[in-house]
A and B are shown apart, each in its own frame.
Chain A
Amino acid sequence: MQETHASQVRPPFYRDERVLGIFSQFLVVFVVVGLGLFFYSNMITGLREKHSVAISFSFLGQAAGFDIGESLIEYSRERTYLRAFVVGLLNTFQVAFLGIIFATALGIVIGVMRLSTNFLVSRIAAIYIDIFRNIPLLVLLIFWAQAVFLKMPRVAEAIVLPGPIFLSNRGIAIPWGIPTESWGTFLIVLGAGVVLGAAVAWFLREQGKRTGRMPLITLWFLVTVAAVGLVGWIVLPQPMTLDQPFLEGFNTQGGKVLSQQFMALLSGLIIYTAAFIAEVVRAGIQSVSKGQREAATSLGLNPAQTLRLIIFPQALRVIIPPLTSQYLNLTKNSSLAIAIGYPDLFAVAGNTILNQTGREIEMFTMIMGTYLSLSLLTSLLMNIYNRRIRLVER
């Protein structure tokens, strides 16, 4: 009875929990937005009255005037500041992308090694983790740049590996393919191979469901794509020619040069982040209850199968969220490139462009916005993946 009584006689609005709840939230939003506006207008006024500066992004259209050592897209000094910004962004993107892939691979290997029953293997992994997790990344990067890659032989005395691959303190020059006219056709053929491979995979999966014996679907998929690709490669008139590096004048010419700065940055990021990923992987694997492993063993799965089919899929649920943080860290840490001379986003935009234009607020807004977008994008992709692999609970 009492309950119905309370719901019938509503308290006055200033004591109504719902009204107060909504009101307090309004108040919070109002204060936050108000504070933001206050700081913004304060900044604008301060800039105008003390420094006679107004916020404007029009400088982005002006010619940049400086050269950038390495670029994934065509760039020259006549291009705009915006283009230079994009060059820096792509360089960051490149190093973050490769860094994430290699750090994940290395991290998983070390993490699994850490749990090995073999004393030596698990000790090696533990020592690796303890060393690299506890050295500041900046120190590690400068070590790689100054003590490893800069101490390689000079370019005239470069170590030549078969390929030829030139190792020098300018970087690593490797042979690289140059697409010819038939490259586009080849890509179409390859696309057809992927479609065919997917069809094969689907067929095998259906068959596996019927017979209860799953064949190695991924392997057959890859074999199909490779076979179609090979046929295309033979039939078409040379879709790609090999550009081999050679030494001429001051530097190696041709091929693809992975510069000393790029290699130092990439190595530093991979080795550092892999140590953290290894711990994440270890924690994930250990979170899977012992019974699962025992059950798998009693079903006759061998240790490799147990890890691949039973442990890892369950461990992923625990691994993915902290792994996402590590990916974000790696991307953000790549801004330390400035210390070793790699032209990443921060080095180009936060240093050269900023210095030439003197537009601190605009440039930093752009830089922070870009890193934020990169991080949010990474999180988004990882969250989608996380949702997909989430354990379906009954």
Chain B
Amino acid sequence: MKSMRKLNKAGMILSMVIGMIIAACMSPAAGPEVVESDEAAAPAMQEVQSTLSIVQERGKLVCIGNAQLPGFGFLDSEGNFSGFDVDYCRAIAAAIFGDANALEVRPATAKERFTILSSGEGDVIIRNTTWTMSRDTDLGMNFGPTTFYDGQGLMVRKESGVATLQDLQGASVCVVTGTTTELNLADQFAAAGVDYEAVVFEDFDQSFNAYDEGRCDAVTTDKSSLVSRQTTLTVPGDHVIINVTLSKEPLGPAVRHGDDQWFDIVNWVVYSTMLAEEHGITSQNVDSYMDSNDPNIRKLLGLEGDFCAKIGLSNAGCFVDVIKQLGNYAEIYDRNLGPDTVFDLPRGLNSLYTDGGILYAPPIR
């Protein structure tokens, strides 16, 4: 029996060695073949069902959003999502289904949002997402029109008297990871030649709590978020957002590479809200424009040219549904961030080009 066991042991070792050899022989053969064959992806793409038909079959849009950022995407105590970004999710749902509530907001962290989109768990990201080149290319995203031109800012205590980056020499700065924020911070402080200590947290709540407790001298994120978060600090009036912009942060919707029709839908829903503001059409007065003679307005409202069909929507009044249910850009902005809200964020760059801003939607024709 003893020799038998020994033999068994020998057999096991032998078979393991052989198994390893097999594995070693097979994996290099598979390796080079797999790498560098990006072209192979294209034919496979066409077999995939279009995003629009998936959404229509499902009966609702799944929008990857934020649950933690008041004003942009926030989950209230009653379980409702609200905010600027969420309204754009609703706008897309309104254009597709004629019903802004045919929507599920899938809350996601900054880190996981792209993975959720590319795995098909969601249809579009509208989650204060900055359009950057590496996200546009490496991560396989297509960015729609910028809905909000933001910039990274710094909030400090008023008593510290900090006004410029140079004043922050030797300071501790709280920052949220999983965003472009960390990179911008490093770049700008290096450019200014300022030494600092980065204190990196995984989420907003912790980062702002640490700042509030005095762990950091400054906290940095997009200015819109700073404004939004300032209201949650112990004494909001003790803090000030300094007049320094660390970065350009064009925030807008993002979709997967490879479905141009879906990309068009997202683009034109956003543009339609800007065009509506440009023509003075609001959710209140949209009906009165139904007999307008202005060809631009007639095309926007689906009275001429059937432009909704060009983006694959059978509902000729797809933009009318958006405007009726959500309003134009100004209405969406004011409802979530305007003077009547706690944020009272000036429009600034986010005004129409006719008002000194840079919102400029291409024409419908």
Chain A residues with Cβ below 8 Å from B118 are: 50-51
B-contacting 9-mer, from A24-32, A322-330, A379-387: A24-32
Chain B residues with Cβ below 8 Å from A123 are: none
Judge whether A52 and B38 touch: CB under 8 Å: yes
Contact of A155 among B18, B27, B190, B214 (CB under 8 A): B214
Question: Considering the chains assembled together, what is the distance between the CA atoms of A50 and B120 in angstroms?
Answer: 10
Judge whether A25 and B12 touch: CB under 8 Å: yes
Chain B residues with Cβ below 8 Å from A65 are: 183, 186-187
Task: Known pairs A33-B19, A50-B44; list 9 more (Cβ under 8 Å).
Answer: A18-B4, A18-B11, A25-B15, A37-B30, A48-B40, A66-B182, A66-B186, A66-B198, A248-B170
Question: Considering the chains assembled together, what is the distance between the CA atoms of A341 and B34 in angstroms?
Answer: 38
Say yes or no for B344: interface residue by CB 8 A criterion. Answer: no
Q: What are some 5 contacts across the A-B interface (CB < 8 A)? A: A22-B8, A29-B15, A69-B198, A150-B215, A358-B114
Say yes or no for A169: interface residue by CB 8 A criterion. Answer: yes
Judge whether A54 and B35 touch: CB under 8 Å: yes
Chain B at the A interface: mostly helix, strand, loop or mixed?
A: helix
Most chain A CB inside 10 Å of its own CB: which residue of B11, B134, B169: B11
Chain B residues with Cβ below 8 Å from A169 are: 213-215
Judge whether A355 and B186 touch: CB under 8 Å: no
| B5 to A, closest residue via Cβ | A21
Chain B residues with Cβ below 8 Å from A66 are: 182-183, 185-186, 198
Judge whether B23 and A352 touch: CB under 8 Å: no
Judge whether A17 and B4 touch: CB under 8 Å: yes
Chain B residues with Cβ below 8 Å from A52 are: 38, 41, 140, 257
Say yes or no for B339: interface residue by CB 8 A criterion. Answer: no
Question: Considering the chains assembled together, what is the distance between the CA atoms of A15 and B115 in angstroms?
Answer: 53
| B206 to A, closest residue via Cβ | A341
Say yes or no for B168: interface residue by CB 8 A criterion. Answer: yes
Chain A residues with Cβ below 8 Å from B170 are: 248-251, 253
Judge whether A249 and B171 touch: CB under 8 Å: yes
Within 8 A of B (CB), among A27-77: 28-30, 32-33, 36-37, 40-41, 44-45, 48-56, 65-70, 76-77
Within 8 A of A (CB), among B197-224: 197-202, 206-207, 209-210, 213-215, 217
Judge whether A355 and B19 touch: CB under 8 Å: no
Contact of A354 among B4, B8, B111, B217 (CB under 8 A): B111
Chain B residues with Cβ below 8 Å from A28 are: 15
Say yes or no for A390: interface residue by CB 8 A criterion. Answer: no
A-contacting 9-mer, from B69-77, B86-94, B172-180, B266-274: B172-180
Judge whether A21 and B213 touch: CB under 8 Å: no
Chain B residues with Cβ below 8 Å from A25 are: 8, 11-12, 15
Say yes or no for A351: interface residue by CB 8 A criterion. Answer: yes
Say yes or no for A261: interface residue by CB 8 A criterion. Answer: yes
Question: Considering the chains assembled together, what is the distance between the CA atoms of A261 and B23 in angstroms?
Answer: 44
Judge whether A44 and B36 touch: CB under 8 Å: no
Within 8 A of A (CB), among B7-34: 7-8, 11-12, 14-16, 18-20, 22-23, 26-27, 30, 34
Question: Considering the chains assembled together, what is the distance between the CA atoms of A154 and B238 in angstroms?
Answer: 16
Say yes or no for A99: interface residue by CB 8 A criterion. Answer: no
Say yes or no for A368: interface residue by CB 8 A criterion. Answer: no
Chain A residues with Cβ below 8 Å from B36 are: 54
Interface residues on B, range: 35 or more
Question: Considering the chains assembled together, what is the distance between the CA atoms of A209 and B198 in angstroms?
Answer: 59
Chain A at the B interface: mostly helix, strand, loop or mixed?
A: helix
Chain B residues with Cβ below 8 Å from A18 are: 4, 7-8, 11
Say yes or no for B290: interface residue by CB 8 A criterion. Answer: no
Say yes or no for A130: interface residue by CB 8 A criterion. Answer: no
Closest chain-B Cβ to A50's Cβ sits at a distance in Å of 8
- Listed in ascending order, the chain A residues whose CB lies under 8 Å from chain B are 17-18, 21-22, 25-26, 28-30, 32-33, 36-37, 40-41, 44-45, 48-56, 65-70, 76-77, 146, 150-151, 154-155, 169-170, 248-251, 253, 259-261, 338-341, 343, 347, 351-352, 354-358, 360
Closest chain-B Cβ to A250's Cβ sits at a distance in Å of 4
Contact with A along B96-138 (1 / 0, CB 8 A): 0000000000000011001100100000000000000010001
Tell whether A351 pairs with B111 under 8 Å between CB atoms, given A37-B27, A44-B30, A341-B199.
Answer: yes
Tell whether A37 pairs with B26 under 8 Å between CB atoms, given A25-B12, A251-B172.
Answer: yes
Tell whether A355 pairs with B206 under 8 Å between CB atoms, given A55-B34, A150-B213.
Answer: no
Say yes or no for B309: interface residue by CB 8 A criterion. Answer: no
Question: Considering the chains assembled together, what is the distance between the CA atoms of A388 and B110 in angstroms?
Answer: 50
Chain A residues with Cβ below 8 Å from B15 are: 22, 25-26, 28-30
Contact of A351 among B18, B177, B199 (CB under 8 A): B177
Say yes or no for B37: interface residue by CB 8 A criterion. Answer: yes
Judge whether A22 and B202 touch: CB under 8 Å: no
Judge whether A37 and B23 touch: CB under 8 Å: yes
Most chain A CB inside 10 Å of its own CB: which residue of B26, B41, B185: B41
Question: Considering the chains assembled together, what is the distance between the CA atoms of A347 and B176 in angstroms?
Answer: 12
Judge whether A49 and B40 touch: CB under 8 Å: yes
Question: Considering the chains assembled together, what is the distance between the CA atoms of A51 and B16 in angstroms?
Answer: 35
Tell whether A32 pairs with B200 under 8 Å between CB atoms, given A67-B185, A251-B172.
Answer: no
Question: Considering the chains assembled together, what is the distance between the CA atoms of A1 and B303 in angstroms?
Answer: 105
Contact of B30 among A41, A151, A155 (CB under 8 A): A41
Question: Considering the chains assembled together, what is the distance between the CA atoms of A17 and B139 in angstroms?
Answer: 56
Judge whether B41 and A48 touch: CB under 8 Å: yes
| B17 to A, closest residue via Cβ | A29
| B12 to A, closest residue via Cβ | A25
| A43 to B, closest residue via Cβ | B34
Tell whether A250 pairs with B171 under 8 Å between CB atoms, given A54-B37, A170-B215, A360-B115.
Answer: yes
Question: Considering the chains assembled together, what is the distance between the CA atoms of A148 and B106 in angstroms?
Answer: 35
Closest chain-B Cβ to A46's Cβ sits at a distance in Å of 10
| A360 to B, closest residue via Cβ | B115
Question: Considering the chains assembled together, what is the distance between the CA atoms of A151 and B210 in angstroms?
Answer: 10
Judge whether B202 and A347 touch: CB under 8 Å: yes
Chain B residues with Cβ below 8 Å from A154 are: 214
Judge whether B183 and A170 touch: CB under 8 Å: no
Judge whether B7 and A68 touch: CB under 8 Å: no
| A54 to B, closest residue via Cβ | B35
| A168 to B, closest residue via Cβ | B214
Contact of B110 among A41, A49, A355, A360 (CB under 8 A): A355
| B190 to A, closest residue via Cβ | A77
Tell whether A48 pairs with B34 under 8 Å between CB atoms, given A22-B8, A25-B8, A260-B215.
Answer: yes
